[in-house]
Every structure is written in structure tokens, then in C-alpha cells.
């Protein structure tokens, strides 16, 4: 018999704490179950760039065959990623970009387009007139830069919509809560708050709610995740007026990794599409994703049963073998 070669994929993630990144990891793990000869070595940097750089080095020391990375910031990763690439270890960038050409594939949503879609929605929603607050994700990360760019480009079509304030929420709920709370008097005169992700939009909403003024403006975010405290539910509840699906690319990343390691060709730029989620389609989308989640749980249960059966079978076979040979 020919033995299948085994591979080690290293995955360096800027943070693992939020719903989007948990979904991403699950998507990768699900795809990995179809590739039993692949092992995943996972590192979570907890939003720290320095930590993430040293984790990448330690993944390389542990002999990974390929690196998947979702970098915290763009610029600081150039050197380390170029070094990995130069050693002959293929690199896949996921969701966030870096400033170098030293990678084999980039996989992620079209963040400029998502920003533009948000601009279109808000332009229509405000009927071309109003005061908007923009809450940024980490300004040194590529999705924040690109979402901002697309959003502002689109808003140029609406001369009577003003961005009255930009805040830096760093993608994080607690940061947003702090900056919003300290500027509440200016912010409450706005008509709408647009945040670069739902976590921040909902964080801002929470502060307004605490002050009993949540109805003075509307909230729009990005990610539109299923689950009890994420974007889809918030749209159903009316807390968010709209959000935009931001696909994780987890499945595609693993698939691309296996293709690279097996010497097959891959597309270098893999841009995943998004859609607007709002009151008109959230029910259908939620039903769909709930069903997917349920199916996923069923598959996991089934594969656990198969594993159990295989174990029983193996131990019976071994007992039989021992009985026959002793």
C-alpha cells in the first residue's frame, strides 16, 4: 500500500475571541474533516501584533508545510511573512492583507465593495440628507481602510449627507463603548451611526440604550452573523437597520491549502461576495443559516457515532486477532 503523505497547516489568527473568528475556525475545521491527512496548528494572538509575529515564528519552528494568516495589521507583517515565503513555505492571506507580494493566495470579502454597499443603503435610507457617524475598525488593518474608502466614495454622490464624526473602535466592543460614552453629547445629534462591524455597531447601541436615547439615531454594521447575539438577530429585533454578509473564507482557505500542497493550481486573488441583510430578507436568511447550523450539528453527531463504531470494531478485531494467535 502507498502511504498518504501528511501535512501540517499553521493558522495564525489576529484574535480568536469574537463570533466572526470562531465561525471562521469552525469553517476551517469542517473542511479539514474531509482531509484527514492534514493537521491544523492554531495560534490566537489576542489582538497583539507582536504576539502574532512571534507565534508565526514558532509555527515555522514546528515545521509547518503551509501558513494561513489573518494579520492584525497590514504593514508590520511584511518582513516576517516575506521570510516565511522565502523559506519555501506557501502563504495564504485570509481576510486581512499585508504590504507585500510574497504570498500564494489572498482569500476574503470585497471590503471596498462592502463599504460602497453600506453607502448605497445609507444614502437611500436617509433619503440623501443627514448626519452620519463612522466608527472605524483598527485603522492599520486593511478591511477598515477598504470599508472606509468604499463608503466615502459612495457618499460623494450625496452632498447633503455629512460625516460629522469619525471614531476609532479598533473592531472591539469595549473600545467603542469607551469612545462613544465620552462623546455622547455630539453623537446624539447624528441621524445614523455606521460601524465597520456589527460588534461595534451594537456596542455603540448599548451605550445609547443605557442613556435611554437609542431611538434618536439608527445603527448599521457589517458581518451579519447568525446566532443569538449577532447581527442577524439584531436586524430581526430592529436594533440594526442593515448589515452586510462578510464571508469567512475558512472553507476556501483549507481547500486552497490542500491544492497548493498537492501541487495543483490555485487562483491567487479569491474575492468572496457579500449581500445586504436588512428587514426585508433577514427572516429568510436566518432560517437558512439556522438550518445549516442544525445540519452541521447532525453531521458532527454522526461522525462521532462512526468514530465510536470504528473504535469498537478495531478493539473487537484486535481481541479476535489476539485470541486466534495466542
Positions in the binding site for ligand FRU (CB under 6 A): 15, 18, 20-21, 95-96, 137, 141, 143, 171, 197, 199, 222-223, 246
Our measurement of the distance from residue 169's CA atom to the centroid of its chain's CA atoms, rounded to an integer in Å, reads 17
Our measurement of the distance from residue 96's CA atom to the centroid of its chain's CA atoms, rounded to an integer in Å, reads 9
Distances in Å between the Cα of 202 and the Cα atoms of 43, 77, 253 are 27, 30, 29
Question: How far apart (Å, rounded) are the C-alpha atoms in residues 27 and 302?
Answer: 18
Note whether 175 and 169 are within 8 A (CB). Answer: yes
Query: Smaller CB distance to ligand FRU: residue 95 or 252?
Result: 95
Distances in Å between the Cα of 185 and the Cα atoms of 181, 190, 305 are 9, 10, 58
Q: How far is the CB of 141 from ligand FRU (least distance, A)?
A: 6
Q: How far is the CB of 95 from ligand FRU (least distance, A)?
A: 5
Q: How far is the CB of 193 from ligand FRU (least distance, A)?
A: 16
Query: Smaller CB distance to ligand FRU: residue 52 or 258?
Result: 52
Q: How far is the CB of 16 from ligand FRU (least distance, A)?
A: 9
Query: Smaller CB distance to ligand FRU: residue 64 or 135?
Result: 135
Burial of 68 (0-12, 13-18, 19+ CB in 10 A): buried
Query: Smaller CB distance to ligand FRU: residue 131 or 152?
Result: 152
Query: Smaller CB distance to ligand FRU: residue 53 or 200?
Result: 200
Q: How far is the CB of 129 from ligand FRU (least distance, A)?
A: 29
Amino acid at each position: 500500500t502507498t502511504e498518504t503523505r501528511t501535512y501540517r497547516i499553521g493558522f495564525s489568527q489576529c484574535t480568536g475571541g469574537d463570533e466572526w473568528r470562531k465561525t471562521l475556525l469552525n469553517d476551517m475545521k469542517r473542511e479539514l474533516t474531509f482531509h484527514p491527512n492534514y493537521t491544523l496548528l492554531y495560534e490566537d494572538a489576542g489582538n497583539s501584533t507582536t504576539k502574532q509575529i512571534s507565534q508565526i515564528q514558532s509555527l515555522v519552528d514546528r515545521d509547518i508545510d503551509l501558513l494561513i494568516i489573518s494579520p492584525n495589521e497590514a504593514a508590520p507583517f511584511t518582513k516576517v511573512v516575506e521570510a516565511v515565503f522565502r523559506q519555501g513555505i506557501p502563504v495564504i492571506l485570509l481576510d486581512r492583507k499585508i504590504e507585500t507580494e510574497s504570498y500564494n493566495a489572498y482569500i476574503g470579502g470585497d471590503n471596498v465593495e462592502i463599504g460602497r454597499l453600506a453607502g448605497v443603503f445609507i444614502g437611500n435610507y436617509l433619503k440623501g440628507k443627514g448626519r452620519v457617524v463612522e466608527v472605524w475598525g483598527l485603522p492599520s488593518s486593511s478591511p477598515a481602510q477598504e470599508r472606509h474608502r468604499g463608503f466615502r466614495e459612495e457618499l460623494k454622490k450625496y452632498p447633503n449627507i455629512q460625516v460629522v464624526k469619525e471614531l476609532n473602535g479598533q473592531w472591539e466592543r469595549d473600545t467603542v463603548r469607551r469612545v462613544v460614552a465620552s462623546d455622547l453629547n455630539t453623537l446624539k445629534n447624528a441621524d445614523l451611526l455606521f460601524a465597520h462591524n456589527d460588534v461595534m455597531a451594537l456596542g455603540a447601541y448599548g451605550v445609547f440604550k443605557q442613556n435611554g436615547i437609542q431611538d434618536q439615531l439608527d445603527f448599521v454594521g457589517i458581518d451579519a452573523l447568525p446566532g443569538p447575539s449577532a447581527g442577524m438577530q439584531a436586524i430581526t429585533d430592529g436594533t440594526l437597520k442593515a448589515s452586510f454578509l462578510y464571508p469567512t473564507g475558512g472553507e476556501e482557505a483549507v481547500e486552497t491549502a490542500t491544492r497548493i500542497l498537492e501541487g495543483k493550481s490555485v487562483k491567487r486573488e479569491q474575492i468572496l461576495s457579500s449581500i445586504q441583510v436588512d428587514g426585508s430578507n433577514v427572516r429568510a436568511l436566518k432560517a437558512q443559516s439556522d438550518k445549516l447550523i442544525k445540519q452541521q450539528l447532525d453531521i458532527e453527531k454522526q461522525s462521532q457515532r462512526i468514530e465510536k463504531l470504528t473504535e469498537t470494531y478495531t478493539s473487537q478485531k484486535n481481541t479476535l486477532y489476539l485470541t486466534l494467535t495466542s
